[in-house]
Chain A
């Protein structure tokens, strides 16, 4: 009797989870198939009716579409490097217990999590810095991310203090300890937080919408939504159906992380757990 009951539970559980899995996958699969399908249909297909690569070719050959993609790649790489540089420096300094003024620095950072100038004052400052209408604004906006600084500090605090002291006694400078001990021991942390920076910069839409109007400087997310939801499709010179083009665009926008994701899943997950559980 009892074993039968357990079986029913498991069967129901598996069925429910297959349904949940399908609910997540159906929209994504629909987009993927439609991006290769020359005919636009509403039905869900497992395979394209009429296979075509025109959607992707159009994007790769239309400057108003591939330029934003290149901008996305550049800003994501630069933003990740810049963000990692600042967060490792901040985390390393703040992890020094005996540093005079450490609490002051921590408060300077934490206060920004409580109060901010708001959209307009920020816009006016960016204008003064000549960052309005420049894609580099994404690098600076996302690189200075106090939340990630604190995460990095938490990671660094996990390194045993005796390692620092041993290195100090051996005459290692703070910079030397940073490069020779802290960074090599923090590869997992660098991967996790680096990915968080990369995802944020790549996925940004709102800041582009606020700060950038020059079509040469927008990123791919912006161009994509602009095209699909605001009807701003550039002349392409290709005879491609709109549905095919839109769906190809969506796939291009998610491609980098979908390719990396299976290999890096553990780093993504680690970032969350350190942020929420430990901190």
Chain B
């Protein structure tokens, strides 16, 4: 006979655990409640996983799928556009992660120094705002501001300042391979810096005030206190934010998708947008090829999540998933 496990309830009473069958029956209400969740996750998340097999088939809008083995992967790995997209994915998402995390840390540290609580609150309210705007809206706003037409604010200002001649055509910022990336980072910083401060401000509010008092007694200046008390306190949070976001590197899609155009594919195309165009924007799509690229993206993305999860367990004692 199997030994029954003893369990201790929250009230401290020790009870013998009932047999599994009985426990399942007793919990039938919970299973019933989980059922809809289970069904929808199976349909929306697991069913598509079966479609991954098309990565090994030729699958065109007309005709039956036919087995091609690893042909799509060989083709993919010898396609320049794919490698450009892969490199761009890493470069763009890591750069934007570093830039906006840095900006958020700086803003939170100095926001934390602000003595006037009212002013602090107003400023927080303002800088959180852009986060709630969709990427489509943000892209629309900036495409109007950066427009080369007569109503584009930035080009108008450049003319007012004499940097551009009055009769010169405006700069088409979003279609210039040299300017697209800096503009992309600026827009990202504009949209997400404020929201990124929330997590750092939460950490800062937890710093023991005695640390600052001790620094005061030692005669530390404001900058020294920031350097030796505030910033070290943020180390763990910064690592957490970086790990959490590093796991999502392969996900980058919408920010690029709404801002790029065919003039700047070389500097802006990422894996997800590459897949999109291979499927929906060419005359004779081969779903097999796009599925293969998608499978590559899922696998690299999944590996990143697992790696970041391990790093997270090592550095801060708990995983991210």
Contacts and interface: CB of A to CB of B under 8 A. Distances in A.
Interface in B80-102: none
Given A43-B153, A119-B279, 9 more contacts: A27-B145, A28-B130, A118-B297, A121-B50, A121-B51, A125-B48, A146-B41, A149-B37, A224-B140
A143 B40 contact: yes
B36 A122 contact: no
B49 A116 contact: yes
B58 to A, nearest CB: 13
Nearest to B115: A10
Interface in A222-251: 222, 224-225, 228-229, 243, 246-247, 249-250
Interface string A236-279: 00000001001101100110011001100100110011001100
Interface in A173-190: 173-175, 178
A49 B296 CA distance: 54
A206 B151 contact: no
A203 B153 contact: no
A112 B43 CA distance: 12
Contacts of B113: 9, 13
A262 B207 CA distance: 28
B99 to A, nearest CB: 15
B279 A108 contact: no
A136 interface: no
A261 B129 contact: yes
B275 A118 contact: yes
A119 B290 contact: yes
Contacts of A272: 195, 198-199
Nearest 6 pairs of A and B residues by beta carbon = A121-B51, A118-B294, A117-B48, A42-B156, A203-B134, A174-B29
B283 interface: no
Interface of A: 5-6, 9-10, 13-14, 16-17, 20-21, 23-25, 27-28, 30-31, 34, 40-44, 85-86, 89-90, 92-93, 96, 98-101, 105, 108-110, 112-125, 129, 140-141, 143-144, 146, 149, 160-162, 165, 173-175, 178, 199, 202-206, 209-210, 221-222, 224-225, 228-229, 243, 246-247, 249-250, 253-254, 257-258, 261-262, 265, 268-269, 272-273, 276-277
B27 A100 contact: yes
Contacts of A268: 128, 132
A174 B26 CA distance: 10
A140 to B, nearest CB: 6
B127 A21 contact: yes
Given A17-B111, A209-B257, A121 B20 contact: no
B291 A118 contact: yes
B23 A100 contact: yes
B24 A100 contact: yes
B1 interface: no
A174 B290 CA distance: 45
A24 B301 CA distance: 33
A21 to B, nearest CB: 5
Interface in B103-147: 107, 110-111, 113-115, 119, 122-123, 125-130, 132-137, 139-145
Given A28-B129, A121-B54, A250-B141, A206 B253 contact: yes
A125 B24 CA distance: 33
Contacts of A261: 125, 129, 132
